[in-house]
Structure 1
Amino acid sequence: MGHTMEKLRRLLRHLWLDADDARRALGEAALDRLEARVRASETGHSGQICLCVEASLPPSYLWRHLARGEALASVIRDRAITLFGKQRVWDTEDNNGVLVYLLLAEHRIEIIADRALARVLEPAAWQDLVTQLAAPCREARLEDALGAAVDRLDHLLRADFPRSGGADLTGGGGLSDRPVLR
């Protein structure tokens, strides 16, 4: 009975939340601060950082977990990969874009890095970064979690992809600096 109740609670949580909830969870002032943080970061490196906050999983993803029994972590990772493509994070000149995906309904964060950036760190190091961000996510300190992700990625990108002196400061991929809410 406990397992069934947990599935029901998860289903209701995902059906209840929408993009407006993501907007309310962060607030306009936090969105403005995060946008400014990404913009400031991108002046020092050639990478592109995309923040994406999704309120809940689409029904097809939720179904994979609840009905088919796929691990929730795997389903969330697949969703982040899908949004990496939909947001065109892969479409940067140096293949060094990164998506920071936060799933509000589960207070879980995933980081998907493009090829050149993914080669900079071992997969375990990327997982360590996600683990470091887990506590603020669980505590609903969403701006703190996203801001810490930007700061850590800024450090990595500045070290491995510094912006050359005369480079255009608008970013190679032209991705929006504003967090994407879904």
Structure 2
Amino acid sequence: MLRRLLLNLFAGWFRLSRWFPAATMIRIRDAIARGELGHAGELCFAVEPRYSIWSVLSGLQPRQRAATAFSLLRVWDTQDNSGVLLYLQLAERRVEIIADRGIAARVAPAQWQRICDRFAADIADGDPEAAVLTCIAGINILLSEHFPASADNPREVPDDPVVL
């Protein structure tokens, strides 16, 4: 608990602007847009620098916060229940993937976990942009395989990264 408090007090504030400057956010947006051409899914990337002290003390976990963000960002609001949220909590360097029921029915949880595990290894290597882009590429591959694009492939979720 003390480690989480310290990380959220000090680590997240400075990482956002250093790890995700405007140019990086544009490259992430473009990777999402390109990837969505090959599948019927809708991908949203959300990054949260840190949690409040009160959130940490109350036991808020990244998975729980990702589920809340999935709802708040309306990633679930797609015609085919095809939304996927890639959520990154910077202070604790935690990533979560939340897939809507249309995609979750086709992609096994172990496949999502492999992508998260790869992300954790990549972020530990120190290049957050590369880690996020590799993670997005992995999600796009899974979606292309299990949820291929159709003739009617509407854009239902904005491609722009979201800072919470």
Tell me the TM-score normalised to structure 2 length.
0.88
Residue identity (%): 37
Note the residue ranges of structure 1 that are not aligned, 5 or more in a row.
1-5, 66-71
Tell me the alpha carbon deviations over residues 72-98 of structure 1, each in whole angstroms, 9 at most, x when there is no partner: 7xx111011111111111111110110
Give the 3-state SS of the residue equivalent to 1:154 in structure 2.
helix
Match of 1:112 among 95, 98, 102: 98
Give the 3-state SS of the residue equivalent to 1:49 in structure 2.
strand
**Distance in 2 between residues matched to 1:140 and 1:54, nearest whole Å:** 18
Match of 1:154 among 137, 140, 145: 140
**Distance in 1 between residues matched to 2:125 and 2:54, nearest whole Å:** 27
The answer to whether the aligner puts 1:102 opposite 2:88 as a matched pair is yes
**Distance in 2 between residues matched to 1:92 and 1:19, nearest whole Å:** 33
Residue 49 of structure 1 aligns with an amino acid whose one-letter code is L
Tell me the alpha carbon deviations over residues 18-40 of structure 1, each in whole angstroms, 9 at most, x when there is no partner: 67742332111111111101011
How many residue pairs get matched? 164
Q: Is residue 97–residue 113 contact of structure 1 (8 Å, CA) maintained in 2?
A: yes
Give the 3-state SS of the residue equivalent to 2:58 in structure 1.
helix
Larger Rg: 1
Note the residue ranges of structure 2 that are not aligned, 5 or more in a row.
none
Give the 3-state SS of the residue equivalent to 2:43 in structure 1.
strand
The answer to whether the aligner puts 1:178 opposite 2:157 as a matched pair is no
Give the 3-state SS of the residue equivalent to 1:176 in structure 2.
coil
Tell me the alpha carbon deviations over residues 79-133 of structure 1, each in whole angstroms, 9 at most, x when there is no partner: 1111111111111111011000111001111111100111122222221221111
The residue number in structure 2 matching 1:13 is 7
Correspondences of 1:33-182 after superposition (within 5 Å): 33-65=27-59, 75-165=61-151, 167-168=152-153, 170-171=154-155, 173=156, 175-182=157-164
* RMSD value, Cα: 2.1
Point out 4+ residue stretches in structure 1 off by more than 4 angstroms.
17-21
In structure 2, relative to structure 1, the CA distance for the partners of 1:89 and 1:20 (3 Å cut) is farther
Please state how far the C-alpha of 1:15 moved relative to its aligned partner: 2.7
Give the 3-state SS of the residue equivalent to 1:88 in structure 2.
coil
Residue 16 of structure 2 aligns with an amino acid whose one-letter code is A
Q: Is residue 107–residue 140 contact of structure 1 (8 Å, CA) maintained in 2?
A: no
Give the 3-state SS of the residue equivalent to 1:40 in structure 2.
helix
